Chain A
């Protein structure tokens, strides 16, 4: 008997009008970098060149900050809040209109499955603007005093794992609160940010309110260290987050930092196993595991570990790895050669330190950057694969006997971004949720995101929250009444 095979279901690239060259978006226009340098961005699934984008240096950052400052002083801070909100609504609507184009460009530039960019990244990004649009003229009701004020010019640096969504998380609340921004997209995924610049133009957003300067870490450092920004908002590694905290330590700049994670995903003996297995899969293999809140440490109660692992392996064998543009693809390409090397390097320590590696028998494409879905069993808490963020489709499995041991292991990390709990017993779920030192707890679900839901970490996973009422705090100066 032959298996039923999926037929190819490719999304068309035709909708993506990627220009062969992009300048920097400063003062409402695309301009050439002052030094005329550019760099390539490629499709990580094929290694084909997609476009050459401008490389912004210190002088370009300076021009962008000046443009943002002028827009803040002359226009954005004087505009009635209601009108500010209407610009954000316009942006949300145009993003929805152009959603498919955004999804295709995102998948080409990032390597994530089109199903995810189409159904998750782009709709959530648009929703983020729509949600924050509504806050713009209601800030006095948000709990930060009767006249909360914006900070001024905000420098924002975003990662490559959710390029447009992270842009939305940064720009939407900043603008709603009345700030202007200079945003630096990730080096390997600049294209949807540049497409977003076009959306700002179509929306008629006043020049300089949003500035986008593409480049690398040096560009980002120039932005962080620019004397005329009031705040840094950064999503990325804990290492870079700490460096930013140090470099602004003697300044008046504030910061929100969304950093790394090593989330525990706890499966208790009374969990619904089939649902838990789906949750584990989503927790670690969503977006190739390039997720700061990925459930990368699976901690199973010992008496159900065999059953869970057997079902997990069976389910992993059904993951479809390959062409991100195929609508049936579950696991796309690793975003860059550099990231692939990092995943390989840390995973090899799992072998060396005595954990047992398992991957389903899957044929990987020959071109591009790929890594198979992988689990390590027999992992101990001191293994590097249990401590360090791998940022790839690699799951470390540990076990526990008592609930107290589960919490002990889950909290044994410098990170505290997210955690998962699988149990059908309500009191136990809430008990565990209370004990876990993490900013986002998914109980009987995983990797859910919403503009209304605050996101951010405890401990070394960062400072502040993004999304919801709590996320506004990072973009406002509270004038709440002092008692006496």
Chain B
């Protein structure tokens, strides 16, 4: 006789812990076959604010870790994901209704994405920085620095890859992140949180919320301690809305071309230029 499955409770990921929504709300997710899959948390404004507090307090430690260290931690995420591949494949198949082969490809691509961005961490100032030839006796150089706390609206499908594609570059640049999973396809993002929790990523650097993008959007837009937004999962109307509200603290708001490219890292970095006289 087979034993009954022990199903997972999908919760939020905030400050390195897995709390339920403070609001006590959940919503139902059905699989591609219309059968019940899970009741993930329906995150509230307060959950978002808690996530910002966690992200803000973790950010400087993450940015000040050596780039080599950050690179190794991103690589570690890939390692742990590899070990959990089958779980992700199963989850994606049930949720998206795609073939096992297609789901395996998606997981492999997500793992490769972590590896690709891992290698970027200690090359950013070589590629995007400069020593500037000013006309005078000055040493003058420009280096990229993390922007701060970035909110990410993940794409729906591909569910896992969509989340990784937006999260990995933001971490590579030394930012902390609040990933708002797709409303319809949230489950792999939460499982990704479990991977991150066991990959030496300091608590608070990554926070994952599930729920309605439309409900959280105005609060993300108006929060003065969110510095940037990736609008990948928002429609044009929602993008316009967050740009309007986000002007209050001049948030850096971006939508990227599909695929992986350093623009995804550098758009959430600031360039600092330092002058110093040369002389005796």
Contact = CB atoms under 8 A, between A and B. Distances in A.
Interface of A: 127, 143, 238, 241-243, 245-246, 249-250, 257, 259, 414, 429, 433, 438-445, 448, 450, 452-456, 458-460, 462-463, 465, 468-470, 478, 480-484
B273 A441 contact: yes
B275 A441 contact: yes
B247 A245 contact: yes
B250 A249 contact: no
Contacts of B248: 242
Given A448-B136, A484-B260, A453 B252 contact: no
A250 B240 contact: yes
Contacts of A242: 247-248, 250
A481 B263 CA distance: 10
A454 B276 contact: no
Contacts of B243: 245, 249-250
A115 B259 CA distance: 53
Contacts of B109: 484
Given A441-B275, A445-B275, A484-B260, A450 B136 contact: yes
A255 to B, nearest CB: 10
Nearest to B134: A450
A454 B260 contact: no
13 contacts: A143-B127, A245-B243, A246-B247, A259-B250, A429-B276, A433-B274, A441-B274, A445-B275, A450-B132, A453-B132, A465-B271, A482-B257, A483-B116
B99 interface: no
Contact of B275 (A443, A459, A478): A443
List the 9 closest A-B pairs by CB distance, nearest first.
Answer: A249-B243, A482-B259, A245-B247, A450-B134, A250-B240, A249-B244, A483-B260, A452-B132, A441-B274
Q: Interface SS of chain B: helix, strand, loop or mixed?
A: mixed
Contacts of B9: none
A313 to B, nearest CB: 25
B250 A478 contact: no
Listed residue (B244, B260, B261, B273) with the most chain A CB atoms within 10 angstroms of its CB: B273
Nearest to B252: A463
B262 interface: yes
A414 B271 CA distance: 17
Contacts of A441: 272-275
B277 A483 contact: no
A440 B138 CA distance: 14
Given A250-B244, A257-B250, A439 B273 contact: yes
A167 B84 CA distance: 57
Contacts of A482: 257-261
Interface residues of B, number: 38
Contacts of B272: 433, 438-441, 458
Contacts of B250: 238, 241-242, 245, 257, 259, 459-460, 462-463
Given A249-B243, A441-B275, A454 B132 contact: yes
B234 to A, nearest CB: 13
B142 A468 contact: yes
Contacts of B136: 448, 450
A453 B275 contact: yes
Contacts of B257: 482
A454 B142 contact: yes
A247 B250 CA distance: 13
Contacts of A259: 250
Interface in B10-55: none
B100 interface: no
Nearest to A238: B250
A452 B134 CA distance: 6
Given A433-B272, A439-B270, 17 more contacts: A242-B250, A439-B272, A441-B275, A444-B277, A445-B275, A445-B276, A450-B135, A452-B135, A454-B273, A459-B249, A468-B142, A470-B271, A478-B263, A482-B261, A483-B116, A484-B109, A484-B260
Nearest to A458: B270
Nearest to A250: B240
Contacts of B244: 246, 249-250
Interface string B137-161: 0101010000000000000000000
Contacts of B198: none
Contacts of B127: 143
Contacts of A238: 250
Interface in B77-130: 109, 116, 127-128, 130
B44 to A, nearest CB: 26
B133 interface: yes
Contacts of A460: 249-250
A483 B261 contact: yes
Nearest to B133: A452
Nearest to A469: B130
A67 B127 CA distance: 38
Contacts of B116: 483
B255 to A, nearest CB: 11
A21 B260 CA distance: 55
Q: Which of A242, A259, A441, A458 has the most chain B CB atoms closer than 10 A to its own CB?
A: A458
A465 B143 CA distance: 12
A463 B72 CA distance: 31
A468 B130 contact: yes
Contacts of B277: 444-445
B261 A481 contact: yes
Given A245-B243, A257-B250, A480 B263 contact: yes
A469 B128 CA distance: 9
B47 to A, nearest CB: 25
A446 B244 CA distance: 35
Nearest to A447: B275
Most B C-beta atoms less than 10 A away, residue of A242, A414, A453, A458: A453
A245 B109 CA distance: 36
Interface string B141-183: 0100000000000000000000000000000000000000000
Contacts of A470: 130, 142, 271
Nearest to A259: B250
B132 A484 contact: no
Contacts of B140: 450, 452-453
Contacts of B271: 439, 454, 456, 465, 470
Contacts of B263: 478, 480
Nearest to B64: A434
Contact of A448 (B138, B247, B261): B138
Contacts of B132: 450, 452-454, 468
Contacts of B249: 414, 459-460
B7 to A, nearest CB: 34
A67 to B, nearest CB: 29
A102 to B, nearest CB: 19
